[in-house]
Amino acid sequence: MTPGEHVSVAVVGGGPTGISAATLLAQYGIDTLVLDRWPQVYPQPRAVHLDDEVYRILARLGVADAFAAITRPAMGLRLVDRHQSVLAEFRRDTTPTCNGFPAANMFDQPALEELLRDNLTRLPKVRLRGETDVFAVTGGADGVELSVRDRVTGGESRITADYVLGCDGANSTVRSAIGTTMRSLRFAQRWLVIDVGCTRDLRQWEGVHQVCDSRRAGTYMRIGPNRYRWEFALAEQESVDDYATLAALRPLIAPWTRDIADADLQLLRVAEYTFRAQIADRWRLGRVFLLGDAAHLTPPFIGQGMGAGLRDALNLAWKIAGHHRAGLPASVLDSYEAERSRHTRQMISLALNVGRAMTAGGELGTLVRRLVVPRVHLLPGLREKITDSQTPPLPASAMVRRTVRTRRLAGRLCPNPVLATGRRLDEELGRGFGVLTTQPLDPDQQGIVDGRGARAVLAAPGTELACWLGHHRVTAALVRPDGTVMMAGRDLSALCRALPWFVFDSPAQTPANAECHE
């Protein structure tokens, strides 16, 4: 085995989670190497949905405009029975939310991955190496050693890194290497996934159709101008081989394609997936971390699987950069699992509840749904909760500090309005901490903010930021680099003193007036 090289961070796995983590680290100037066993993007479509919070991460990565060209907003959710009768419809506004983007967005995963990889090439501090197998990971007090094999030449070498991120999927080599196991949340269903191309418009309602039927649960979604997806639960005796042709699939997709000739339908993919709910019992060992499917598997009923991995990447990247280069304490790294594990478990639980509510219970369950679902809109606030894309707050940690007054605010994302500068708040704050306040900073407060690499934004009266602070009965909020509220309150000086040191080489920052463009 030949001697190797040293990098600050080695990312194992070049999917959306790994590429996103590498991009974020490179933006902080961290030398990063991505190792992937494949030479190019996996061509088959998988994930098809992300919400406005994850879209906000894409903007942070620098691909929001390019992503807008390959996505389409979804209009909401329609629940239908086995006969296609509408039980309930939950429409969603496709205009931007407080995060700055539509609440639900449909896309083709390979196209998104191509954007992410192309974007990665623009950064000087990161490299992507394909055709590389990682077959051993050994951690030590001062770093991690990877044993890798070139899949073309067969040559083996060693790479050492200060940190290793295991983004290598459900069958993660990194997870096995650190002795972590996946804990089942007692859910496994076999589903058929069908992707079809069609140049003719199917003339269907432009939202997600959920077939609420215990005998054959199903989902229909329009992904793009000429792409459609169906997902159907498989019976015990069925397999993907039973649906290998368009003729075999026709009975399943007929309710949506009755007027479409076979010649107009292109079968892009038919695959069998087992939808699982699992979460790792440990997400970290020393300097090795697990992200994405290596740490958790979420059933697709609420479209949060891929997004969870991007949330992991954003949560961890700034913490590694802060500890590695900006002097943040090691406890900040501990907060990664503390925050993301609980949040992910909550999202998995939500997905399971949605899936069971729509598909479980046999014939009795079907009858109950026919009676109950059409009356859901009569329950105060429930319709809004179904279409609300906001995810639960992060739990308390070293980087989320709650008080009785701010328990509903700390741990949540701050809004992302357009400011008087013409930029959104995320752009104005940059990649460091921020102080949002309705009060001008005095010289001492401004000195603390500037000295610790943060940015202050004054929320002018009547603006979205001022209204948001006022709604939560605070006058200031300390915002982390990932847009999460670390703490909030009425004592601006105390918040400034609580700012962590997070100083990188960057141009001097000055306060901005946060008057929004209405």
Residue 470 inside a domain? The answer is yes
Task: Indicate if 60 and 128 belong to the same structural domain.
Answer: yes
The CATH number assigned to the domain holding 295 equals 3.50.50.60
Task: Indicate if 308 and 422 belong to the same structural domain.
Answer: no
Residue 507 inside a domain? The answer is no
Predicted pLDDT at 7: 97
**Strands, sheet with 227-233, edge to edge from the N-terminal-most edge strand:** 86-91, 76-80, 208-211, 218-224, 227-233, 182-198, 265-280, 296-297
Number of domains in the chain: 2
**Strands, sheet with 104-106, edge to edge from the N-terminal-most edge strand:** 49-51, 104-106, 72-73
Report which DSSP code applies to 413: B
How long, in residues, is the chain?
A: 518
Task: Indicate if 336 and 416 belong to the same structural domain.
Answer: no
Residue 165 inside a domain? The answer is yes
Look up tokens 């620098």; give the residue: 62
Q: Where are the alpha helices (DSSP H) in 360-432?
A: 362-372, 382-387, 425-429
Predicted pLDDT at 455: 95
Predicted pLDDT at 513: 39
pLDDT per position in the chain (518 positions), as tens? 566 799 999 999 999 999 999 999 999 999 999 999 999 999 887 899 999 999 999 999 999 999 999 999 998 888 898 889 888 888 888 899 999 999 999 999 999 999 999 999 999 999 999 999 999 999 877 789 999 999 999 999 999 999 999 999 999 999 999 999 999 998 888 999 999 999 999 999 999 999 988 889 999 999 999 999 999 999 999 999 999 999 999 999 999 999 999 999 999 999 999 999 999 999 999 999 999 999 999 998 888 999 999 999 999 999 999 999 888 999 899 999 999 999 999 999 988 887 777 766 556 555 555 655 555 555 555 455 566 778 999 999 999 999 877 878 999 999 999 998 899 999 999 999 999 999 999 999 999 999 999 999 999 999 999 999 999 999 999 999 999 999 999 999 999 999 999 987 543 333 333 333 33
* Calpha distance 228→232 (Å, rounded): 14
Residue 346 inside a domain? The answer is yes
CB environment 485-499: b (16+ within 10 A), e (fewer): bbbbbeebeebbebb
Predicted pLDDT at 507: 35
Q: Where are the alpha helices (DSSP H) in 121-236?
A: 173-177
Tokens of 443: 């010289």
Region label for 449, one of left (φ > 0), alpha (ψ between -120 and 50) or beta (otherwise): alpha
* Calpha distance 450→200 (Å, rounded): 57
* Calpha distance 198→181 (Å, rounded): 42
Residue 406 inside a domain? The answer is no
Q: Measure Cα distances from 339 to 23, 278, 303, 383 in Å.
A: 21, 17, 20, 28
The CATH number assigned to the domain holding 435 equals 3.40.30
Contact 86, 80 (CB under 8 A): yes
Predicted pLDDT at 346: 93
* Calpha distance 41→36 (Å, rounded): 10
Task: Indicate if 434 and 322 belong to the same structural domain.
Answer: no
Q: Where are the alpha helices (DSSP H) in 328-396?
A: 331-359, 362-372, 382-387
Amino acid found at 133: D
Residue 508 inside a domain? The answer is no
